[in-house]
Structure 1
Amino acid sequence: MKDLKNAGKFYAHYLKPYWIEFLITTILVGISTWAIVVAPTYMGRAIEELATYVQQWMNPATRAQATFTTFNHTLAIFVLLYIIDATSILISSLLLSKISGYSTGTMRVGLFRKMQRMKVNYFDSHSDGDILSRFTSDLDNIFNAMNQALIEIFLSGAQFIGIIWMMFTQNATLAWITMASTPVAIGLSAFVMHQASVSVDRQQDDIGRLNGYINEQITGQKMLITNGLQQESVAGFQPYNAAVRKSNLRGQIWSGILNPLLMGLSLLNTAIVIFAGSWLALNGSLSQGAALALVVVFVNYA
Structure 2
Amino acid sequence: MNTEKPSRPQRHHGPMGGPPVGVPGEKANDFFGTLKKLAHYLGRYKLQILLVLLFAVCSAAFMIVGPKVLGKATTEVFTGLMNQISGTGQGINFTRIGQILLFLLALYLVSSAFNYAQGWIMTGVTMNVTYQLRRDIAGKIQRLPFSYYDTTTNGEVLSRLTNDVDTISQSLNQSMTQIITSVTQLIGILIMMFSINWQMSLVALCIIPLSGLVILFVVKHSQKYFKQQQDYLGHVNGHIEEMYGSHVVVQAFNGQERNEKTFSGYNENLYHSAWKSQFFSSLLQPIMIFIGNVGFVVVCILGGWYAIKGFITVGDIQAFTQYVRQFTQPIQQVANISNVMQSTAAAAERVFDFLEEKEEPKDSPNAITLNITDKPDTELNVHIRGSVQFAHVSFGYTPQKTIIHDFCAQVEPGQRVAIVGPTGAGKTTMVKLLMRFYDVGSGAILVDGYDIRDFKRSNLRTLFGMVLQDTWLYNATIRENIRYGRQDATDEQVLTAAKCAQVDHFVRTLPGGYDMVLNEDASNVSQGQKQLLTIARAFLADPQILILDEATSSVDTRTEIMIQKAMGELMKGRTSFIIAHRLSTIRGADLILVMDHGDIVEQGTHTSLMAKGGFYAKLYNSQFTD
Aligned to 1:78: 104
- Mapped to 2, the partners of 1:289 and 1:59 lie a distance apart of 19
Residues 1:114 and 2:140 aligned together:
yes
Residues 1:99 and 2:125 aligned together:
yes
Residues 1:28 and 2:30 aligned together:
no
Which stretch of structure 1 is more off in the superposition, 180-189 or 31-40?
Answer: 31-40
Structure of greater Rg: 2
- Mapped to 2, the partners of 1:158 and 1:218 lie a distance apart of 50
Residues 1:255 and 2:302 aligned together:
no
Q: Which amino acid aligns with 2:130?
A: T
Residues 1:127 and 2:153 aligned together:
yes
Q: Which amino acid aligns with 2:224?
A: V
**1:187 deviation in Å?**
0.9
- Mapped to 1, the partners of 2:86 and 2:269 lie a distance apart of 76
- Mapped to 1, the partners of 2:217 and 2:82 lie a distance apart of 54
Q: Using a 3 Å threshold, how does the CA distance of structure 1 residues 26 and 216 change in structure 2: closer, same or farther?
A: same
**1:2 deviation in Å?**
6.8
Residue pair 1:277, 1:292 contacting (<8 A) in 2 also: no
Q: Secondary structure at the match of 2:310?
A: coil
**1:5 deviation in Å?**
4.0
Aligned to 2:423: none
Q: How many residues align?
A: 301
- Mapped to 1, the partners of 2:107 and 2:206 lie a distance apart of 29
Aligned to 2:30: 3
Aligned to 1:282: 308
**1:69 deviation in Å?**
2.7
Gaps of at least 5 residues in structure 1 are none
Residue pair 1:280, 1:291 contacting (<8 A) in 2 also: no
**1:66 deviation in Å?**
6.0
Q: Using a 3 Å threshold, how does the CA distance of structure 1 residues 234 and 275 change in structure 2: closer, same or farther?
A: same
Residues 1:49 and 2:76 aligned together:
yes
Gaps of at least 5 residues in structure 2 are 1-27, 329-626
Residue pair 2:193, 2:201 contacting (<8 A) in 1 also: yes
**1:82 deviation in Å?**
1.7
Q: Using a 3 Å threshold, how does the CA distance of structure 1 residues 220 and 283 change in structure 2: closer, same or farther?
A: same
Residue pair 2:77, 2:92 contacting (<8 A) in 1 also: no
Which stretch of structure 1 is more off in the superposition, 117-126 or 185-194?
Answer: 117-126
Q: TM-score, normalised on structure 2?
A: 0.46
Which stretch of structure 1 is more off in the superposition, 46-55 or 22-31?
Answer: 46-55
| Higher RCO structure, 1 or 2 (CA under 8 Å, sep 6+) | 1
Aligned to 1:229: 255
**1:294 deviation in Å?**
1.9
Q: Deviations over 1:152-184 (max 9, x none)?
A: 111101111111222223322111100112111
- Mapped to 2, the partners of 1:83 and 1:186 lie a distance apart of 33
Residue pair 2:56, 2:180 contacting (<8 A) in 1 also: yes
Q: TM-score, normalised on structure 1?
A: 0.91
Q: Which amino acid aligns with 1:218?
A: Y
Residue pair 1:34, 1:162 contacting (<8 A) in 2 also: yes
- Mapped to 2, the partners of 1:67 and 1:249 lie a distance apart of 57
Q: Using a 3 Å threshold, how does the CA distance of structure 1 residues 86 and 253 change in structure 2: closer, same or farther?
A: same
**1:127 deviation in Å?**
2.3
Aligned to 1:18: 45
Name the structure where helix makes up a greater proportion of residues.
1
Give the root-mean-square deviation of aligned CA atoms: 2.1
Residues 1:242 and 2:273 aligned together:
no
Residues 1:161 and 2:187 aligned together:
yes
**1:60 deviation in Å?**
6.3
1:180 is aligned, of 184, 198, 206, to 206
Aligned to 2:551: none
Q: Secondary structure at the match of 1:261?
A: helix
Q: Using a 3 Å threshold, how does the CA distance of structure 1 residues 58 and 215 change in structure 2: closer, same or farther?
A: same
**1:233 deviation in Å?**
2.1
**1:188 deviation in Å?**
0.8
Q: Secondary structure at the match of 1:286?
A: coil
Tell me the percent identity.
25
Residues 1:294 and 2:334 aligned together:
no
Q: Using a 3 Å threshold, how does the CA distance of structure 1 residues 61 and 160 change in structure 2: closer, same or farther?
A: closer
Q: Using a 3 Å threshold, how does the CA distance of structure 1 residues 234 and 8 change in structure 2: closer, same or farther?
A: closer
- Mapped to 1, the partners of 2:130 and 2:258 lie a distance apart of 39
Q: Secondary structure at the match of 1:16?
A: helix
Q: Deviations over 1:89-141 (max 9, x none)?
A: 12212221222122112111111112222222322332222211101111111
Residue pair 2:64, 2:188 contacting (<8 A) in 1 also: yes
Q: Which amino acid aligns with 1:159?
A: Q
Q: Which amino acid aligns with 1:80?
A: A
Name the structure where strand makes up a greater proportion of residues.
2
Residues 1:151 and 2:177 aligned together:
yes
Q: Using a 3 Å threshold, how does the CA distance of structure 1 residues 52 and 232 change in structure 2: closer, same or farther?
A: closer
- Mapped to 1, the partners of 2:284 and 2:47 lie a distance apart of 34
